[in-house]
Structure 1
Amino acid sequence: MDQTSGAPSPVTALRRISFLLERRLADTYKVRAFRGAVATVLTLAPDELDRRCAEGTLQELPGIGRATAGVISEAHAGRVPAYLAELEETAGPLVEGGDALRPLLRGDLHSHSDWSDGGSPIEEMVMTAVEVGREYQALTDHSPRLKVARGLSVARLTRQLEVVDGINSHLAGTFRLLKGIEVDILDDGGLDQTEEMLGRLDVVVASVHSKLRMKSRPMTRRMVAAVENPYVDVLGHCTGRLVKGGRGTRPQSEFDAAAVFAACAEHGVAVEINSRPERQDPPDDLIAQALEAGCLFSIDTDAHAPGQLDFLQYGAARAEAAGVPAERVVTTWPLERLLEWTGRRRPS
């Protein structure tokens, strides 16, 4: 930020535009253009940036197009770029509701990086999580069987945990990146990762990603078996439904919700309220059923890009409308209590 004019730096302006576009689920190519421009600007020496802005030659650089060049030039000149001002003016709240619960949310237990099917590096996700006020954020990239999402093998997950350690060492005392995984629930209810690796994690979100049209009885057995696994903390997007969006729609899976939620309540596994607007999972009636069953909840973004970390408002609005008490939402808990909970069933 320019201290005299109040205008953002070129990098700050480009990052903010990317965030606002991701927040509104804009086309991926638009977001990539601005995030790609950030990478290019960061390689420039100050004198070269000065010269190119003066000469109007920014578009000669790789990854800089007409729109991004205009943003860079305006910010470099000490002005708020017009495109950024327009996006800020039209940003507004994502959804009405959730205003009481949203400020109580300290963290988020479900997010992805470019190590699997997310769009940004871990460091960018962390930087944004800090900027939007998270106290903790779980990195939960996919498990090996989900090849379409570049799921992490044991070797890749091991390397990722080293990266997380480095980030936490740098940010000690201000923010915690939790070691996690979104582990695939296999057909028989087993988990798609070794117990040794699951035991090294802070948070395990278990989700069904395959055979979503399985008949109700085997699907119920599959989900209950996963919930009973001592490494599982959160049951992710339990119905698998899609209600809108670029991927089309998908009906919810069929299972005995009473049996699944009874298992969640018995074992202290949180039912995820997935905040992605195209999921709205679980449906309202199942949130009510889980609440009646005595379940805990985790309001998570399932963010695949930095701007989507702002999706918590969607989940907070749905939970608040359903009458879910804040105390039953694990992501309102302070970090120490949260980690005591995720560690409660781990084999010693």
Structure 2
Amino acid sequence: MSPADRAASERQADAVAALRRIAFLLERAQASAYRSEAFRKAAVSVEKQDPQRLAVLATTGALATLPSVGARTADVVAHVLRGKPVEYLGTLEDEYAASTLDPAAAEVRRALRGDLHAHTEASDGSTPIQEMVLAAMELGHEYLAITDHSPRLTVASGLSAPRLRAQLDQVAALNTVVGPFRVLTGIEVDILDDGGLDQDPDLLDRLDVVVASVHSKLRMDRGPMTERMLTAVRNPRTDILGHCTGRQIKGKSRPQSEFDARRVFDACAEHGVAVEINCRPDRLDPPHDLLDIAIEAGCLFSIDTDAHAPGQLDWLGAGCERVAQHDLDPARIITTWPLEAVLARAHR
């Protein structure tokens, strides 16, 4: 490769990185999904171009003729290719900068090694696995579990058994090129009305991580809901109890489910099921009073983002703040553990 070609290729890579960074910041700040997806689609389009052709398009003002590239994304690319600062990116860096954690929460954040609950475009996430993995690596994670939805959640394009098997092959191939980072196989499996898990048991046995969550009939009476959750927690294939109350506290709000928290969390402690501390700003589940009960019950915990886009993987700080507020020992948080320890405690 000639020096000129190498320089053109490097400028192209910088343009793609700028587009992805803008999308990341928008996602982290809960901006419109339409805005972040526009920048991600533009990044994919720009990355596919021949570097020299891209330079010609920039010189002639024709970048917006590329697929998925509009006026704003073209302006970002043009500035990067000319070696000039991107004002829009700078504004976003200032406006949407990561919030500063207090010292106790920051200490917990430094201890975290990965995230065990994340979604891709295979279900209701917005990007391919590769985009999620790249963001996790850039954040300094050591591992990321891909936990797309199970088949009954059709509104979220839950994965049938054949689709999940295909994803396992995809993860295996990805792991050959991203080491020492590790992509973990997983699922967010629906807890059915009777407490069963919504996926082929033999297939669940092949996964690194099983997050079990209630997504339907959230207003079930307290008694039946308690029994439903107890059945799921006692299932030897369950590793993590996801967003236990199902509440939504922002946007289209939803009250929390009613269940006997002491019985459920005692069962989690007894059966080695970690209680998820869900970091989504619209969930922050469990609520503080239930988190106190789970801590008293002796539960393990998993701080997870439940991310549906790469920028959302940077929401871990919210869970760290809750851990610090409750003076929870980080040793009880499995996402502070080395990968080998996380895999060793899995029930399979």
Q: Report SS of the residue matched to 1:52.
A: helix
Normalising to structure 1: TM-score of the pair?
0.95
User: How much identity, in percent, do the aligned residues show?
Assistant: 55
Question: Residue 22 of structure 2 corresponds to which residue in structure 1?
Answer: 17
Give yes or no for contact 1:8–1:75 (8 Å, CA) kept in 2: no
Give yes or no for contact 2:191–2:197 (8 Å, CA) kept in 1: yes
> Is 1:244 aligned with 2:258?
no
> Is 1:44 aligned with 2:69?
no
Greater alpha carbon shift after TM alignment, 91-100 vs 271-280: 91-100
In structure 1, C-alpha distance between the alignment counterparts of 2:340 and 2:265, rounded to whole Å: 26
Question: Residue 181 of structure 2 corresponds to which residue in structure 1?
Answer: 175
In structure 1, C-alpha distance between the alignment counterparts of 2:341 and 2:52, rounded to whole Å: 50
Give yes or no for contact 2:149–2:157 (8 Å, CA) kept in 1: yes
Structure 1 residues not aligned, in runs of 5+: none
In structure 1, C-alpha distance between the alignment counterparts of 2:36 and 2:226, rounded to whole Å: 39
Task: Kindly provide the CA deviation profile for residues 253-305 of structure 1, in whole angstroms up to 9, marking residues without a partner as x.
Answer: 00000100010010010000000011010001111110000000000000000
In structure 2, C-alpha distance between the alignment counterparts of 1:95 and 1:151, rounded to whole Å: 36
Question: Residue 137 of structure 1 corresponds to which residue in structure 2?
Answer: 144
Query: What is the CA distance between 1:171 and its match in structure 2?
Result: 2.0
Task: Kindly provide the CA deviation profile for residues 199-248 of structure 1, in whole angstroms up to 9, marking residues without a partner as x.
Answer: 00000000000000000000000000000000000000000000013xx1
Question: Residue 146 of structure 1 corresponds to which residue in structure 2?
Answer: 153
Greater alpha carbon shift after TM alignment, 163-172 vs 256-265: 163-172
> Is 1:226 aligned with 2:239?
no
Which structure features the higher share of helix residues? 2
In structure 1, C-alpha distance between the alignment counterparts of 2:96 and 2:276, rounded to whole Å: 26
Equivalent residues in 2 for 1:83-232 (5 A)?
Answer: 83-94=88-99, 96-97=101-102, 98-172=105-179, 174-232=180-238
Task: Kindly provide the CA deviation profile for residues 167-220 of structure 1, in whole angstroms up to 9, marking residues without a partner as x.
Answer: 111123x20101100000000000000110000000000000000000000000
Question: Residue 69 of structure 1 corresponds to which residue in structure 2?
Answer: 74
Query: What is the CA distance between 1:7 and its match in structure 2?
Result: 11
Normalising to structure 2: TM-score of the pair?
0.95
Q: How many matched pairs?
A: 340
Decide which of 317, 334, 339 is 1:335's aligned counterpart: 339
In structure 2, C-alpha distance between the alignment counterparts of 1:179 and 1:2, rounded to whole Å: 38
Opposite residue 122 of structure 2, the aligned amino acid is W
Opposite residue 325 of structure 1, the aligned amino acid is D
Query: What is the CA distance between 1:2 and its match in structure 2?
Result: 8.1
Give yes or no for contact 1:95–1:317 (8 Å, CA) kept in 2: no
Opposite residue 84 of structure 1, the aligned amino acid is L
Opposite residue 51 of structure 1, the aligned amino acid is V
Structure 2 residues not aligned, in runs of 5+: 1-5
In structure 1, C-alpha distance between the alignment counterparts of 2:187 and 2:100, rounded to whole Å: 28
Decide which of 316, 319, 323 is 1:315's aligned counterpart: 319
In structure 2, C-alpha distance between the alignment counterparts of 1:7 and 1:168, rounded to whole Å: 26
Greater alpha carbon shift after TM alignment, 151-160 vs 88-97: 88-97
In structure 2, C-alpha distance between the alignment counterparts of 1:293 and 1:209, rounded to whole Å: 25
In structure 2, C-alpha distance between the alignment counterparts of 1:105 and 1:78, rounded to whole Å: 36
Greater alpha carbon shift after TM alignment, 60-69 vs 251-260: 60-69
